[in-house]
Each structure stands twice: as C-alpha cells, then as structure tokens.
Chain A
Amino acid sequence: MEQSGEYRIAGSRERVWEALNDPAVLERCIDGCRSMTPVGDDRFEAVVAARVGPVKATFTAAIKLRDVDPPERYRLEVQVKGGVAGFAKGTAAVELAEVAADETLLTYQIAGGIGGKLAQIGSRLVDSAARKMTASFFERFAVDFAA
C-alpha cells in the first residue's frame, strides 16, 4: 500500500510542527484514538479502534520518530498490532514547507503493508480505509488548529 498527499494548513510552520508533536492534539485528531502516550523522546504508543470493512478491532500502535529535523520533516515508523485482526506496519514521511508566514504546506508519503485477517478480508478495502482515516485526521487537525 502506498499513498501520498498534501494539505495546506493555516498557521506558521513552527506552530504546525508543535501540534504534530503534541500527543494531546494527535489523540483528539486521530479517528478512534483512545490514547496517545509518549514513551521517551522519540516514541509514542497509541491505542486506536478502527474498522476496515468487516474487520473491526482495537489496535495498538508503536510509533517511532526517525530523521527528525524540526520544524521541517520527520519520518514515522509504525507497527500496529490488532491481535486476531492481524497487523499493519509502515512508514510515513512528513514534510512541512513554509508557504507564507501563516500558511504551511504539509506533504506526506505513506508506505505500508498489512497481514492476518486484515489482509485476508480487508486487502481491497484497506486503501480506502487508510485514505479516509488520513482525510479525517487532517480535517480534524485543521479545525483543532484553528480553535
């Protein structure tokens, strides 16, 4: 699975960067996120309830930050475990570019794979589920950010 996209966010690059690194913001903006807990400087653990087609489960995600270059870019390495629902793994490369003093262009590239029941039942659905989840995140992020 590979996806990429970009979003324009009304706010300075520094503020966007801060928000993207704030567990409370992430918890509010990720659909189904039950918790987002920082573990040390460069790790988060998240619990997310998600649904891919008929597969519905509570997933635990271990997120590692890599190649962190504030406020410009980082890469997330994500390992997701869903018990009997299977697993997902992937990386997301995120870049922030200054468009104007109060406008930031966020671009992302996601690459990943799934396994177990997620793949068995959800392979053809996972792309659209991921796309939907990403769209929902940025929608909420924009609203949260403006608030």
Chain B
Amino acid sequence: MATETGIGASVKRKEDARFITGAGRYTDDVGQHGQTYAVFARSPYARARLNGLDTSAALATDGVVAVFTGADLQASEVGDLPCGWMVKSKDGSDMVQPPHPPLAVSSVNYVGEPYAVVIGETLDAAKNGAEALDPDFEELEAVVDLATAAGADQIHESVPNNQCYDWELGDKAATDAAFAQAHHVASIDIVNNRLIPNAIEPRAALGEYDEASGTYTLHTTSQNPHLERLVLAAFVNIAPEARLRVISPDVGGGFGSKIFVYAEETAVIWAAGQLRRPVKWRAERSESFLADAHGRDHVTHAELAVAQDGRFLGLRVQNKANMGAYLSTFASSVPTYLYGTLMAGQYKTPAIYVEVQSLFTNTAPVDAYRGAGRPEATYIVERLVETAAREMGIDPAELRRRNFIQPADFPYETPVALTYDTGDYEASLNRALDHADYAGFQARREASEQAGKKRGIGFSCYIEACGLAPSQVAISLGAGVGLFEVGEVRVDVTGSVTVVTGSHSHGQSHETTFAQIISDKLGVPFENVTVLHGDTGRSDYALGTYGSRSLAVGGSAIIKATDKIIAKGKKIAAHMLEANEDQVEFEDGSFNVADSNQSLTFGEVAFSAYVPANYPLEDLEPGLSEKAFYDPPNFTYPAGAHICEVEVDPDTGVVTIEKFVAVDDFGHVINPMIVEGQVHGGLAQGIGQALLEHGVYDDTGQLLSGSYMDYTMPRADDLPSFTVDTTVTPCTHNPLGVKGCGEAGAIGSTAAVMNAVTDALGVKDVPMPATSETVWRALRNGGNG
C-alpha cells in the first residue's frame, strides 16, 4: 500500500517529539528510591603492578557506603569479561586471551583501567571516597607502539610476544603467482588512525536488586541488552538469565561502542546485589575518552598487482591490528572476519591474501566502531586502486570500471570467502560522476590554481557486508553467539498494533521505520503502531543492533511475524465469511473473498480474534499475536561510490571539502529521509577520521587526546552540504530486499577524502588525520606529514 506513511515515504520520525522537547528517557533519567552512586577509581598508569590498595580512608569518608576492589569481585566469583569471537591463528591454534577481570586485581594495563569502585550516598561522597583511596602502584615500562609491540616487554604473563593471533585468509601461493605476472605493482604503507567513539550520551548504568523475587534489573546504555544479559549471566555469574532483566531505554548514540559488555555496568549490577540498594553510575566525558572501546588503529602494508591493461591480478595485505590491553567483547572479529573478507571490494581481483597480526598494547581496548573492519578494508583497497591509477596514468574512474564485478556476474564468489548476491557498481559510479561534475573538474582545478590553491578529487567505491550471517557459518568461524533476530507483532483487541523488536534503536529511528512497514503490510494507520525495543523483559532473546543489521535482519523477523498474522487472519476471515481459506485475499487492510464483494477489515478480524463469538475455536487458537525468528541465509552487500573534491590552501595547509557526493545502493529504502540522515552521520564520522580525529597516546601510554581540547570532532562548518543519492539493486535473500545503511557513510568516505587530499598535494600519502599542520608539512617535504 503506497501511502504517505508506508514503505518509501519520508515520514517524520515518531521519536523526534520526545527528543526535541527533552522528554526522552535515558538511563541517567531513571532513578530509584534509595539509590547510591558509584565512582570508579582508574589507573593513572599505562602499566603498573598494583602491590596494595588501602581502602580505610575511603571507607571512613563521610557518606561512603562501600568500597569494592578487584579482589572483592574475585572473592565473590565474579567472572572475567569474555571475548565473543574465537579467531584461530595460521597454525590452527586458538587466539590467546589474557584474563580480563572487571576491576583490576594485581596489575593495571591502560590508563583509565578501573581498579576499585566507591559507592556513596551522593555522587560527591563517592568522589571524595575515591580521592581517599591509597593504591600502591609500581610503574612498569609501557608498550605503546603497535608496530614494535611484538618485540616489546610482555604485557600479560599468558601472552607471548603480546600476540593475540596471527591470522590469514586467501590463497597465498595463487596471490604470489599473480604478483609474479604483474605489469605494475602499486604498494602503500598505511596507518589507520585510532578513533575514540564519542557518543553524545556517555555510558551509564543503574543496577537494582529486588530481594522479594531475587531478581536483578540493570538499566544501561546498551545496543544489545540481551547480549549484556547473556554475558552477565553466563560468564560474570550475576544471576541466571531468568532473574536478570536488562533494559536499554533511549540511548544517545552507540556507533558500536555500546555493543560491548564493560567493567562498569558489571560492577554496578554486582554491587547492587551486595548492598541490596540501587547503584547508579554515569560516565563523565573524561572517562568515556579513557574507557570506551576505541576504534581502528591498524598499521598496514598492502600491494596491488595490475596487468598492463589495468586488470587487477592480485592483492596482498599485511596488517597489524591493535587490540589495546584486553580483548573487548568482539575485538577479535573486527580486523579478521569483518576486514579480510572485504578485500575484494567491488572488483574481480582473482587472488587475494591477507595476513593480520593482532597485538596487545598498554592502551584502551579497541573494538568495533561504525563500520568495524570494513572502513579499514575499504581504506586499503581504495587507496591502493587510486595509487595504481595514478602510477599507471589511467583515469581512476576508468580503472575501477575495468575491474568492477558486473551485474551478470552475480552471485559472485570472492577469493576471500564471501558470496555477493547482487549489485550494480558502475550504475552508482556513473551517477556519482554526474553529481560531481567530473567532466568539469579540470577547469575547477585550473581556477583554484589561478587563485593560488590546490584542488584534488578522490574516489572510493566501497562494499560492505552487513547483517552478519548466517548463524551456522559465523559460529563455525568462531562466533560465540547466533546472528538471528526476533520480531513480535501483537495485534491489540481494537486493531492497534504493538511491535516488539530485538533490534535496538539508539538513533536509527526503528520506531518510525518499523511502524511504516507494519502500516504498509497490515494497512493499519501508522499512528496506531507502537514499536517497543530494548528490554529483555519484553522481547525474546535477541541480538540487538550492530553492523547495519536492524532492517535487514530485525525487519525481516517482523515481516515473518506479519506474514503469520496475515495467514491467521485469513483463516479467521474465511470462517466469518463462510468462505474457503484459499479464496481469501488480504490487500490494503482488508480480507476479501475472491470474486465477491464480501470483505472484512483488519480491525474486524482482530476484534473477532479476541472476542471470539463467531470464531473457529475448535481449529484455531484465539488471539492475534505472532512472533518470528529470522536467521539470514547470507550477508547483505550495500555498496556505493563516494567522490570527494577538496581545495587546499598551501600557505596554511587548511583542507576545505568543496563537494562530497555519496551514491549508495542500500536495496529498497523504507524511509528516504532517515536513510539520508544515516548517510550524513556516517559521512561526518568518515570525514572526521580523515581530517580531524586522532586518539593519541604518548610513549609512556598517557592519553594526550583525552578531551575536546585535543580530540577534534567534526562540526557543521567542517563539512559541505552533502549530495546524497541512491541506486537500487534489491537484496535477493530477504523479504524487504533491503541491505542496511547505518555504516556506509563511515566506510566509504574516508578513502575518498584522502584520495582527494593526496591528489591535490600531488603526493602518495599523507597520514590521517590530514590536519592543517600535517598538510602544511607534507607540502614542504613531499608527503609523510
């Protein structure tokens, strides 16, 4: 039903009214009678032995209720924080996981690692108590530099060479043979800069224990409350899942950083049980910088073998990935199964070999951040392709065209373990070239030169794999959880609809998008659909939101449940209309008997299901409420073409983005306005990585970019007005034909910006972020910042 609120309509967001009026309900807005406040004591050292911890003065501080240390948690048999993906090394051995206690016991391994929690009647009391703690640290030499971490001091007793794993993917012999045939080899050495997530809402938790029922309730800023519950129940040993409820109310941004199960909420829910009182914690921004999982941080050498006619023959990648001090919840999967598998990009490169060595350093743990592995992979592939084009004197758009997987090639099996289902890469590129007025670039460049400026253009034709799937394949590759989603459609007595989804919305607007789907499929008014999410007490076990999966996986589960509603509705309608079930059709919100004028509205059928006066009770249960689990048969493969045009002022090094075009293929689009918003946000983050953002530790492991004085977030005046457009090849294997749009902006844009900057400067590489200082220096020494 094509309506103003159905699929394809840019409906205004249901969420906006409460967010704009300040009526949103975030974790920190939730309060309980008698609640206490937690403050975490954090290591000021990057690496130190904790030889002792005197808590007496802290305990004697006015208003301090309790002080808990790592030893207390250990004595209470609180388990370590686990990593959910087992990656194996080349030799078949399991990755090496150091113990990760929620509160440090005898050693600390990054600045900001919590070693105690002080609980106070007030926040100030807890802070005063934390100030009064007297730890006895013995500082040790910190391991900070990723490139040399393998040969440095051993951080963890159980981790030789600080190596987590040494992983490979692809056919080494075939790739080496391809390089032996190469007419040209383009190579690059790339540092993918460390990013700090900076969600607008800091992490927070409120733990409660109900003595009467023995039940724990944790409100927290999680992208996937069921995963939080699973870990707290099965690994941390708080309580069985049935006596542990995790609620993630409104959450202000996650970008991956709120997927993970952290020390703080773990300690908070445990402490609530110990004290029999609610315990509240909210991160200060300084804590977010130190202790939210960071993103990216790779050092990579990569080469592309090219034939004389420009065909790609082979790709070789040697990557070092920084894990930080401990393995965060999904850290191991990011530089492997979400990275190496993407190295074919949009191209028919026949031989690819990827090696990834993951190493520990005395820095904050690194895990998935918007795009998670795929931006890093895209950055390698697209910087290499652009380098090859320049070195061979082939137009970069043309070189890409010569190598694109063609529409007729799908399904296309890459040499790195994925099977792309559909796409039309040239269509996106051509559309982007039009929007960018590529033909007019040379004239614009000359005009810039006449004005004493340097102008450059850069491309990035990215692919991503979203909606990580199927469960069986992922589990066989080391995933510790399934990858399905659950959706429940509850039709109410009077015909309104409540949808419960396992996907979590923290900016993605599920309440609107999913209501549009239901309104469209069931013909009920958009206003009559309410979407609930983020509560293990409301939904069945679910996997939550990450990897642009909500619509492709969560939406598909809702469609499956909706199909069951329609099937049952047909049975009810057939009975009421005294027709055969196969004569009943459902269209535009009514059940009609074929070749007749007999029909019932959806509301009439729903009412009958709950007030079953005229109802086939002997054959059919009353009620109209259905649930479905959906496990996708494959990833989805959003892809697109981003083109960036920059102007550089050689006197100051300032880079100005003159134009940014993103043409993305997300399959079918439910709400174009929301999709555009997602793309805008992703572009801002990708451009932020290229030009502004950088998580920097000094050589003793102190975080130097630990506040907004030193960590530069993109602002509106750093960005141009984006040109955003879409092409559509529907996903072939999910009911909505959708692919996912959450990460694309961050995946594609970074390489486009840096290809443009290096084009403007006429250098091979400039390190990210290309700040004015870096660019100014690069102009004076021919690259290398």
B44 and A121 contacting across the interface, CB-CB below 8 Å: no
Distance of A71 Cα from B132 Cα, bound (Å): 39
Of A83, A86, A87, A120, most buried by chain B (CB within 10 Å of CB) is: A120
A interface, CB within 8 angstroms of B: 83-84, 86-87, 113-121, 123-124
B362 CB, min distance to chain A CBs, angstroms: 12
B289 and A83 contacting across the interface, CB-CB below 8 Å: no
Hey, which chain A residues are within 8 Å of B286, CB to CB?
Answer: 117, 120-121
B707 and A121 contacting across the interface, CB-CB below 8 Å: yes
Q: Can you list 27 contacts pairing A with B, beta carbon distance less than 8 Å? A: A83-B130, A83-B131, A84-B127, A84-B130, A84-B131, A86-B44, A87-B45, A113-B700, A113-B702, A115-B45, A115-B46, A115-B702, A116-B43, A116-B44, A116-B45, A119-B44, A119-B111, A119-B703, A120-B111, A120-B290, A120-B702, A120-B703, A120-B704, A120-B706, A120-B707, A121-B706, A121-B707
Hey, which chain B residues are within 8 Å of A83, CB to CB?
Answer: 130-133
Residue of A nearest to B706 (CB): A120
Distance of A87 Cα from B710 Cα, bound (Å): 20
Distance of A117 Cα from B127 Cα, bound (Å): 14
A103 CB, min distance to chain B CBs, angstroms: 40
A119 and B709 contacting across the interface, CB-CB below 8 Å: no
B interface, CB within 8 angstroms of A: 41-46, 111, 127, 130-133, 286, 289-290, 698, 700, 702-704, 706-707, 709-710
Hey, which chain B residues are within 8 Å of A86, CB to CB?
Answer: 44
Distance of A114 Cα from B704 Cα, bound (Å): 11
Hey, which chain A residues are within 8 Å of B127, CB to CB?
Answer: 84
B704 and A123 contacting across the interface, CB-CB below 8 Å: yes
A115 and B44 contacting across the interface, CB-CB below 8 Å: yes
Known: A119-B111, A120-B704. 4 other contacts (CB 8 A): A84-B42, A115-B702, A119-B702, A119-B703
Given the interface contacts A83-B131, A84-B131, A124-B709, does A119 sit within 8 Å of B289 by beta carbon? Answer: no
A84 and B41 contacting across the interface, CB-CB below 8 Å: yes
Hey, which chain A residues are within 8 Å of B700, CB to CB?
Answer: 113, 115
Q: Which 9 A-B pairs have the closest CB atoms?
A: A116-B44, A120-B706, A119-B702, A86-B44, A115-B44, A83-B131, A123-B704, A121-B707, A87-B44
A119 and B704 contacting across the interface, CB-CB below 8 Å: yes
Hey, which chain A residues are within 8 Å of B46, CB to CB?
Answer: 115
**Residue from the list A84, A117, A119 in contact with B698, Cβ < 8 A:** A119
Hey, which chain B residues are within 8 Å of A87, CB to CB?
Answer: 44-45
Distance of A119 Cα from B705 Cα, bound (Å): 9
Hey, which chain A residues are within 8 Å of B41, CB to CB?
Answer: 84
B761 CB, min distance to chain A CBs, angstroms: 27
Hey, which chain A residues are within 8 Å of B702, CB to CB?
Answer: 113-116, 119-120, 123
Given the interface contacts A116-B111, A119-B704, does A124 sit within 8 Å of B710 by beta carbon? Answer: yes
A121 and B111 contacting across the interface, CB-CB below 8 Å: no
Of B44, B130, B703, most buried by chain A (CB within 10 Å of CB) is: B44
Distance of A114 Cα from B42 Cα, bound (Å): 15
